[in-house]
Amino acid sequence: MSALLWILWCGDALATEGGGSVRALGVDTVMAGVMGPQGSSRLTGFLSYYDANETLDSTGHARPGISDFGLEAGAAILRWTFVWPNVQLFGGDIETRVALPYAKVKIGFDAQTPAGSLRRQGSESGIGDALLAPMTLGWHSPRYHQMVGVYFYLPTGDYDSARLANPGRGYFAWAPVYWFTWFPADGFEISGNATYVINSKNSDTQYTSGREAGLDYGIGYDATPAWQVGVSGYLYKQVTNDKVNGQVAGDGRRGQVVAIGPFVRYHPSRDWGVTLKWQSESAVENRTQGNRFILQFTYGLW
């Protein structure tokens, strides 16, 4: 990638390096705080598709110098969890979880240069960055369930700093996480997770993305014993500046986004369930603005 296009795209164009995040947004919105019983194992899969045709600046307006923008990102994420039998810590059960995504990213835009409009585009697919939470603690009560733990994002994904599109991020990150599920009344559920991501420096580009605070949320109502309907989404705010070679990048390039949309869930038993979600983004700064679609399934292995 030319130096000019690197500045236009990975520089002022988006918050955090390349405008993405190690964290998958909008996934933990249903039964998020409910840990399985001791000795149980669960497989959860996510099929996610994100489409955006706008990239916005720090004022929430279209990014100057960028036109005919398009981004498509699809991912298949498989997450395995295991609750350790006959052991507790601080009165909480202990869970280990591992997740691995496969992603495909396609991006294109016209960059306005002194020599005229220049088209840049790229597409790449491959294994993304693995997630590991070695010890998550979970507590339960009839109406409220909660978990605390730490996510470690490992740079296992395919990454090349010369490419526009990358399935991996190219750096290590970690994040304290709090999950919760509240049943305020029979038939009602409020679930979500709060995450604070701390990014390390990308040694290939000397770019350090700012720290990110986020909340996934879901509010559901059981229309029948097997069907739940509601709204879900996410709140995202970058709380520290991006840096390049240790210096603040531009105006800090702090991103933000709010997303909300409907969901429907079919859960005929405690052993399995399927959820379909649509989440539409607004209040965007220093990021792309688009729509996210997620098909989620959960199956109890034992």
pLDDT tier, 15 (very low <50, low <70, confident <90, very high otherwise): low
What DSSP string runs through 108-168? EEEEEETTEEEEEEEEEEEE--EEEEEEEEEEE-SSEEEEEEEEEEE--S---TT-S--SS
Among 10-19, 93-102, 127-136, 175-184, the range scoring the smallest mean pLDDT is 10-19
DSSP designation for 63: P
Tabulate helix, strand, coil % of the chain (nearest 5). Answer: 5, 60, 35
Neighbours of 84 (CB within 10 A): 14
For residue 121, give its domain range.
3-300
CATH classification of the domain holding 122: 2.40.160.40
Count of structural domains, the chain: 1
Region 196-218: mean pLDDT is 96
In this structure, the dihedral spanned by the alpha carbons of residues 201, 203, 206 and 208, taken in order and rounded to 10 degrees, is: -10
User: Which pLDDT score, from 0 to 100, does residue 115 have?
Assistant: 84
Question: Which uninterrupted H or E stretch holds 292?
Answer: strand 288-300
Count of other CB atoms within 10 angstroms of residue 26: 28
The identity of residue 254, as a single letter, is R
Please determine, for residue 222, whether its predicted confidence score (pLDDT) is greater than 90: yes
pLDDT in tens, 239-295: 999 999 999 999 999 999 999 999 999 999 988 999 999 999 999 999 999 999 999
pTM: 0.92
Whether the CB-CB separation of 283 and 256 falls below 8 Å is answered with yes
Helix (H) or strand (E) holding 33: none
Rounded mean pLDDT, 127-135: 97
